[in-house]
Amino acid sequence: MNFESILLPGVNAKRPLIIAGPCSAETEQQVLETAKDLANRGVKIFRAGIWKPRTKPGGFEGVGSKGLPWLKKIKEETGMYTSTEVANERHVFEALKYGVDMLWIGARTTANPFAVQEIADALKGVDIPVLIKNPVNPDLELWIGAVERIYNAGLHKIGVIHRGFSSYDKKLYRNLPQWHIPIELRRRLPELPIICDPSHIGGKRELIAPLSQQAMDLGFDGLIVESHCNPDCAWSDKDQQVTPDVLHYILNMLVIRETQQTTESLTELRCQIDEFDNQLLELLAKRMRVSREIGQYKKEHGMQVLQTARYDEILSKRIAQAQEMGMDGEFMQQVLQAIHEESVRQQMEVLNK
């Protein structure tokens, strides 16, 4: 796929591209006040949810189409570009009718190929940047599939928004970052712009700054941040919104490292990484050979493959060892689970011969 720039005329190409505005358009006064404050601080693209998909009925689901003239007025009074979320064909037509400059597809919609295809069909023949949020669950293929549907409709000004992935285990984040997924997306589609949504990943305003810095350190192209003139009184997601003044401070504190640098000084270190990777592969191959021998033993003695007690013992001991060595326990659990699954597969092959 050959992607075109999502940058709008007059928007600085220097990282990071900033899109900011309230979670929801609530009143004309609220969006105008926020937009003017953001514009005075150099933000060029204003975001506001016109239609808000909610988990349960009864919550604020957006003002609907009556908010679109407010976005048009923002363009006229501030010169900012405007953007909003669309979830179906009608949303697309309404947004285009009022001259919205950039659209995004939300996480719940990305998870539904029928909905994405409906939006793609509605956008045929339209030259407008479209951003696609990751699906709610960590499904890279579903995310790429949504990109392909929009691309196949003839739109090449496409970017994606990483907003994290839902989990029952909330812990620190509202949505788990799982940075390895957008990193793999960049490996697969290196020219595709990636925007980070620290507001939805963190769910708390105090996490916006560190998450934004992480995104910049990973080479993301921009940030979409929820900013409200009075966050504590916001009608939706008040905990993850910041004032334009605070956003300005956060952006000024970001350290932006160049993505294109000489790698000569890294050559020796990368050679070491390559050597260690080769050693890891050799050790894993030896481990799998032992697993096959264990499978043969179990076959000859009529034993079942899965030995739960043994696996639990290995898991707890190895995770503890890894933590003592300065590694993250969750990371080691994922590694050990992957190794265990392959070991079981190897043993099953032996049993089924």
Span 310-332, pLDDT tens digits: 888 888 899 999 999 999 988 99
Stated as kind and residue range, the H or E segment containing 194 is strand 194-196
Q: Give residue 146's pLDDT band: very low, low, confident or very high (50, 70, 90).
A: very high
Over residues 290-311, the mean pLDDT reads 84
Over residues 19-30, the mean pLDDT reads 98
- CATH architecture designation of domain 264-351: Up-down Bundle (1.20)
Over residues 253-262, the mean pLDDT reads 75
Over residues 177-182, the mean pLDDT reads 92
Which tokens belong to 229?
């003139």
Number of other residues whose CB lies within 10 A of the CB of residue 176: 17
> Measuring CA to CA, which residue among 289, 302, 226 is closest to residue 30?
226
Over residues 66-72, the mean pLDDT reads 97
Top-confidence residue, 114 or 273: 114
Q: Where are the domains of the chain?
A: 17-253, 264-351
The answer to whether residues 199 and 234 touch, using CB atoms and an 8 Å cutoff, is no
Residue 270 has pLDDT above 90, yes or no: no
What is the pLDDT, as a whole number, of residue 259? Answer: 57
The answer to whether residues 228 and 51 touch, using CB atoms and an 8 Å cutoff, is no
Superfamily of domain 17-253 in the CATH hierarchy? Aldolase class I (3.20.20.70)
Residue 105 has pLDDT above 80, yes or no: yes
Q: Residue 251 and residue 228: Cα distance in Å, rounded?
A: 16
